[in-house]
């Protein structure tokens, strides 16, 4: 009898344990975190190809810009300048024009004229087409990232929750990767040499540079100190900040999270990412005042700026959140109401409509317009390459 009661008691205990486990699996906490994990995986699956397309199409656009700058070379422009001089001075042109062209291996007049007209026209179409595709992928990626954060906040019901901080850190990582790999700016020097037959305009040199490419050039050319510091403070430090943010969102130890918060606050002072961006922006604006040197910013620079701003915001939210010891969780983790959730989703929809309309107006309409090459490389600028529809 006692044995039977004991068996019944064990069976009841086993059923109770199983019921507890089932209830745990069905608990709101498990469902919430399961949904957050699914959202993170879904975002990664969609964000990775989006980032890849942004980088590749931006690179294709800048390669076409490079081809345009190569076409505006000394050989093509010089060949036409020599032909103009020969027409105005037949005797001197007969003596010197052909030998000079042969010695400098310059193309013929027809070849130069074709390259400077139809060749540049085709390259301009390529630039605008690739820029349009990159812009649409950027529009999709930004709206996707914004929707991801809003959905996570709505699920968590808190602005500075673990899930929201994890989402912000993930987006920061994507912005950082695009900003480092994609081309950041194009710079070229196009002097104008006065001649009797007219000014000789040509591209003397040009460069397409991304942040990773700049650091790599410094390291490979022997500038170890400068390249090393930029590598440490502009790439390694941001990667460390994102990794520590991930770790803090997964840790339940407030003491450890407090130390991570202090470390993030400390290394943030030594991060040169924002300083690096400021230096590039100052260089771009300074070059605009140089008559012979021109520059245009590319998507890589904008994404790196976006990373700097979002990284600082994420770090500040983490330091001030309830994950770090010493804060008041009741004050910092107040639940948001349905009205706020509705406003956030309305904001996402509004931003999506406005950004899509802007992208269509500035880029897609641009590909439908007639392309006319500039008369000289000095008139070539950002508006000529990616012409706004309202110009």
**DSSP one-letter string for 101-141:** HHHTTPPPHHHHHHIIIIIHHHHHHHHHHHHHHHHHHHHHH
Q: Which residues have a Cβ under 8 Å from the Cβ of 203 and sit 6 or more positions away?
A: 69, 70, 72, 73, 74, 188, 189, 190, 377
Structural element, H or E, at residue 13: helix 2-25
Please choose, from the candidates 154, 142, 108, 114, the residue with its C-alpha nearest in 3D space to the C-alpha of residue 299: 142
pLDDT digits (tens, 9 = 90+) for 167-188: 999 999 999 999 989 998 888 8
pLDDT (0 to 100) of residue 138: 95
pLDDT digits (tens, 9 = 90+) for 192-246: 777 666 667 777 777 888 888 888 887 888 888 877 877 877 788 888 888 888 8
Please choose, from the candidates 295, 301, 297, 300, the residue with its C-alpha nearest in 3D space to the C-alpha of residue 380: 295
278 token code pair: 């400021």
pLDDT (0 to 100) of residue 235: 82
pLDDT (0 to 100) of residue 350: 94
SS3 186: strand
CA distances from 303 to 95, 244, 335 (A): 55, 21, 32
Query: Which parts of the chain have pLDDT scores under 50?
Result: 1-7, 9, 12-13, 16, 18-30, 331, 387-391
């Amino acid at each position: 009898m006692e044995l039977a009661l004991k068996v019944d008691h064990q069976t009841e205990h086993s059923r109770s344990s199983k019921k507890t486990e089932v209830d745990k699996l069905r608990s709101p906490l498990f469902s919430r975190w399961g949904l957050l994990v699914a959202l993170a995986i879904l975002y990664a699956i969609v964000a990775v190809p989006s980032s890849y397309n942004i980088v590749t199409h931006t690179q294709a656009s800048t390669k076409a810009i490079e081809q345009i700058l190569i076409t505006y070379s000394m050989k093509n422009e010089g060949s036409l300048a020599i032909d103009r001089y020969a027409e105005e001075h037949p005797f001197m042109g007969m003596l010197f024009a052909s030998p000079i062209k042969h010695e400098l291996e310059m193309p013929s007049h027809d070849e130069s004229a074709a390259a400077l007209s139809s060749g540049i026209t085709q390259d301009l179409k390529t630039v605008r087409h690739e820029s349009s595709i990159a812009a649409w992928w950027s529009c999709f990626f930004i709206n996707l990232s914004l929707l991801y954060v809003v959905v996570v906040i709505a699920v968590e019901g808190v602005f500075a929750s673990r899930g929201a901080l994890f989402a912000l850190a993930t987006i920061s990582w994507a912005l950082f990767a695009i900003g480092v790999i994609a081309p950041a700016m194009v710079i070229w020097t196009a002097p104008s040499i006065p001649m009797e037959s007219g000014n000789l305009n040509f591209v003397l040199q040009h460069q397409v540079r991304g942040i990773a490419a700049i650091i790599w050039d410094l390291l490979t050319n022997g500038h170890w100190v400068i390249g090393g510091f930029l590598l440490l403070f502009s790439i390694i430090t941001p990667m460390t900040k994102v990794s520590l943010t991930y770790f803090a969102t997964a840790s339940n130890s407030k003491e450890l999270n407090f130390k991570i918060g202090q470390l993030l606050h400390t290394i943030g002072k030594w991060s040169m990412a924002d300083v690096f961006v400021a230096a590039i922006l100052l260089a771009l604006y300074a070059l605009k005042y140089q008559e012979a040197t021109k520059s245009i910013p590319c998507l890589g620079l904008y994404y790196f700026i976006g990373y700097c701003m979002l990284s600082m915001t994420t770090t500040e939210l983490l330091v001030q959140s309830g994950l770090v010891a010493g804060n008041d969780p009741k004050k910092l983790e107040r639940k948001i109401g349905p009205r706020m959730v509705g406003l956030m989703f309305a904001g996402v929809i509004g931003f999506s409509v406005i950004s899509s309309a802007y992208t269509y107006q500035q880029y897609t309409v641009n590909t439908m317009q007639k392309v006319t090459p500039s008369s000289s490389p000095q008139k070539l600028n950002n508006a000529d390459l990616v012409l706004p529809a309202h110009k």
